[in-house]
Amino acid sequence: MSSDSAAPGRSVPPPTEAAQHDWAAVLAAMGRNFSEFMARQQSTLVSHAPLNGSVFPAPEAARFVALQQQWLENQQRLWQAFAQRGPEDRPVPPVVQPDPSDRRFRSPEWTKSPYFDYLRQAYLLNAQFMRACVEATPVSDGRIKDRMRYLSKQVIEAMSPANFAATNPEFVETALRTEGESIRRGMENLLRDMQQGHISMSAPGAFEVGRNLAVTEGSVVFENALIQLIQYAPKTEKVHSKPLLIVPPCINKYYLMDLQPENSLVRFLVEQGITVFLISWRNPDQALAHFTWDDYLRLGPLAALEVVRSVGGDPQPNTMGFCVGGTLLASAMGVACGRGERPAASMTLLTTLLDFSDAGEIGCLVDEGMVTMREQTIGRGGLMPGRELAQTFSSLRPNDLIWNYVVGNYLKGETPPAFDILHWNCDSTNLPGPFMAWYLRNLYLENNLCVPGRLEMLGVKVDLGKVDMPAYLLATSEDHIVPWTGAYLVRRLLGGETTFVLGASGHVAGVINPVSKDKRSHWTGGNESTAEEWRANAAEQPGSWWKHYIKWLTAKSGKKVAPPAQAGDAQYKVIEPAPGRFVKGGATH
């Protein structure tokens, strides 16, 4: 490509006057054809309305006819608007505008050209029509309707003109400006991501566990077939006598809790005088493919609690669980309390479901057929690949977590910025099939955990009402995995006093909201019976929820004492420095 056509730094040349006249003529002809098409379609719709009524009841059939007619009228308005742009390509008022939060069409290139502006607006009209049709479908089953919304979202967002080279003006502009270099880089990015098996969401090579992630000083003091237990070194002259055990989710690596020093929740807690122990889950391979929910309870939270009691010197430590780690922790507490034990001084649950009646979009994907299929395949011994889980979670926000990177990485040839949370998001782990199948059936599908005595775990019929230690419950307002209203339902299940806090942002960014940046807000309130009542009366507090939490936690962490001279004790000796082998995929022992 010659430098005269588009040298680096130069904009795309405007179309010639002849080309503008040609475009106006084409639009005029297409507009006439479209008007004739619309008239035929309206006649067809009217004549077939009784036939539609045989499929849907009359009110729904009439609503579909109205939606189709409205769509046709909007398309005609769009054609007429573009036919009026004329040879000088003068702008006309848009027929439809994207949502202000939609970043796909913000580039001025989308409105400079009639061709791309038409594609943009036609797509938006089609998307509106498809969503309206889903909402108009007479389906009384809420889970089926939610699945229709989910599936239609996948189609709508996949078909955006921004996702394709021929229909994205930013691709064309970037290719001309870089003289094709962006296309070469995009192909390199695509080949790299195909080799690694996932779309790069963060700059490749920017992060490494143990180098600039998970660097808070600590030691592995225990391990079994499933976990390593890390004890973090003190950073204060005095520490609280009660330690804290953290149970992270087992579907990702633990270091979300210990990212970089400035946004590490672990480091923050240690700097406040808390002795922190943390579970590092193994990434299961075929040797662990038979592990069950009970195995995860026995070898995970319950085994870790025994070690924490011994090393920490307190029979009732504080505990914290995040997401499914919180579900495992609460289940373990239910087992221990059902045995008549007093296992912990407190329990913190971060974005955790125990009542799955309000499980969000993930819940709509789980039905009897899907669960039965999993039970008959991996449920008998096998693995749920981590990539499959990651893709499912990304599909809940396809524009942000899929197509944004397809366009940036491959069409524009860009390298995504270094982002530690998104690096972690791509570092998924497998799950044993029996564990996953049990989880899907008993929690997402049948919602058995919230019924006292219905589930037996490790020989104990679990009743969460017997879990009577104080509990701190955090939800986040924009969580697409654990709806905050679903997390609120935990309050009616536990037997002890609960403190509910609502953080801003989503499932991960709302939790990892460091005091050092003190962004966003959080809301605190009382003990209202419903989530809506609580929200109406909650008080907004500026900045990170970490500030509120540390006051709650330290009040339950005992007096200040001298920190331990070294990690571990006579029974549980140091095995290796943190972050340990398991987070890096070490061999099974």
Active site (catalytic) residues: 323
Q: What are the Cα distances from residue 582, in Å, to 223, 228, 589?
A: 9, 7, 10
Helix, strand, coil shares of the chain as percentages rounded to 5?
A: 50, 10, 40
AA identity, residue 203: A
Cis peptide before 579 (omega within 30 of 0): yes
498, β-bridge pairs: 471
Q: Of 391, 432, 97, give the one whose Cα is nearest residue 291.
A: 432
Instruction: Decide if 109 contacts 18 (C-beta within 8 A).
Output: no
Q: What is the C-alpha to C-alpha distance for residues 449 and 327, in angstroms, rounded to an integer? A: 10
What secondary structure letter does DSSP report for 410? I
Token code pair at residue 372 = 């039965």
H/E run at residue 58: helix 58-83
Q: Go through the chain and tell me how many residues it has.
A: 589
Residue 393 near residue 481, CB atoms below 8 Å: yes
Per the DSSP assignment, residues forming a β-bridge with 539 are: 524
Torsional sign, CA 394, 395, 400, 404: positive
| Angle at CA of residue 352, ends 281 and 149, nearest 5° | 110
> Amino acid identity, residue 136?
A
DSSP state of 513: -
Give the three-class secondary structure for 559. coil
**Residue 311 corresponds to which tokens in the numbers above?**
């090393």
Whether 326 contacts 257, CB under 8 Å: no
Q: CA-to-CA distance for 13 and 112, rounded, in angstroms?
A: 11
Cβ atoms within 10 Å of 132's Cβ, excluding its own: 17
Helices (H), 113-210: 114-136, 142-158, 169-177, 181-196
